[in-house]
């Protein structure tokens, strides 16, 4: 998981409306609709809960410390989805206590290794990695008009790639996976029956037009493999495509820094 920087998040809040419209045009649903799809619901089902709950974001100063703008960006994404949300004045444990004292039902917090959302009322918790994988897989499902019987290449078998694989299989996709780390592939094989594994990225990209890029590396996908049928879901930074690849893909690329992951985390812990 690549640590975000202030410059990665500082513009997210001001661009949410435009990004939501972009998702609507290229995926068929906006941020709320994609997150709802990731939990098998419609966004209308969450509209009812927006008014009666309060959500907190707690800055965590342990380890490498606070990322300027990170908590505020999470707050802006949650607010854009129509919920009441605040960033605690206190950090760390004191911030968690403040959140609970102020009646927050959902708490978001991230240290250097984990970013979680916890439903204080029912104890449900979700990690950003799995949620991001599932949320992006839901977006790819919508963009592709359904995945039943379709082959999807997953590059990277970590928490994000694994979260994506489980959702994609649930939607009927056949999974081909590549990861240079054999141990990760072995774990994924236990979770995904009939998983096909390719020995190199080139072979995977030549076989699959639907691609889920879940590695912390930049430019993993060579533009020579991008065809008019290629669709790519590539969460987080660095992006696994160069500028030419982004231009070639246009509206067939799903990519952001935090938005789909945070929206999916929220709708996941709101779902009983």
User: What residues line the site for ligand PYL (CB under 6 A)?
Assistant: 1-4, 59-60, 66-67, 70-71, 110-112, 115, 128, 236
Distance in angstroms (rounded) separating the CA atoms of residues 144 and 259: 20
Burial class (CB within 10 angstroms; exposed 0-12, middle 13-18, buried 19+) of 210: buried
At residue 257's C-alpha, the angle toward residues 83 and 69, to 5°, is: 65
Between 2 and 50, CB nearer to ligand PYL: 2
Q: Which is nearer to ligand PYL, 173 or 267 (CB)?
A: 267
- Nearest approach in angstroms of CB 257 to ligand PYL is 7
Q: Supply the minimum distance, in Å, between the C-beta of residue 215 and ligand PYL.
A: 13
Closest to ligand PYL by CB, 43 vs 71, is: 71
* Cβ–Cβ < 8 Å for 210, 152: yes
Of 272, 37, 260, 13, nearest in space to 131 by CA? 260
Q: Smaller CB distance to ligand PYL: residue 30 or 129? A: 129
CB of 247 to ligand PYL, least distance (A): 25
CB of 70 to ligand PYL, least distance (A): 4
SS3 175: strand
231 or 262: CB nearest ligand PYL: 262
Least separation in angstroms between CB 156 and ligand PYL: 14
Three-state secondary structure call for residue 138: helix
The 10 Å Cβ neighbour count of residue 207 is 12
Query: By three-state DSSP, how is residue 18 classified?
Result: helix
């Amino acid at each position: 998981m690549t640590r975000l920087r202030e410059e990665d998040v500082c513009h997210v809040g001001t661009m949410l409306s435009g990004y939501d419209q972009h998702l609507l045009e290229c995926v068929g649903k906006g941020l709320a609709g994609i997150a709802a799809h990731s939990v098998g619901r419609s966004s209308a089902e969450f509209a009812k809960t927006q008014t009666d709950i309060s959500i907190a974001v707690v800055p965590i100063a342990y380890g490498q410390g606070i990322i300027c703008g990170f908590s505020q960006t999470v707050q802006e994404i949650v607010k854009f989805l129509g919920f009441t949300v605040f960033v605690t004045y206190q950090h760390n444990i004191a911030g968690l206590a403040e959140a609970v004292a102020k009646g927050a039902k959902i708490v978001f917090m991230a240290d250097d290794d984990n970013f979680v959302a916890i439903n204080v009322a029912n104890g449900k918790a979700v990690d950003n990695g799995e949620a991001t994988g599932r949320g992006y897989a839901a977006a790819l499902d919508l963009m592709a008009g359904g995945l039943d019987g379709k082959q999807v290449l997953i590059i990277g078998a970590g928490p994000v790639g694994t979260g994506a694989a489980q959702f994609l299989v649930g939607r009927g996709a056949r999974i081909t996976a590549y990861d240079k780390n054999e141990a990760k592939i072995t774990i994924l094989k236990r979770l995904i029956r009939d998983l096909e594994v390719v020995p190199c990225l080139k072979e995977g990209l030549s076989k699959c037009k639907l691609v889920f890029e879940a590695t912390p590396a930049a430019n993993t996908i060579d533009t020579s493999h991008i065809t008019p049928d290629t669709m790519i879901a590539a969460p987080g930074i660095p992006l696994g495509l160069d500028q030419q690849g982004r231009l070639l893909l246009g509206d067939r690329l799903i990519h952001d820094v935090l938005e789909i992951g945070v929206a999916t985390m929220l709708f996941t812990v709101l779902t009983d």
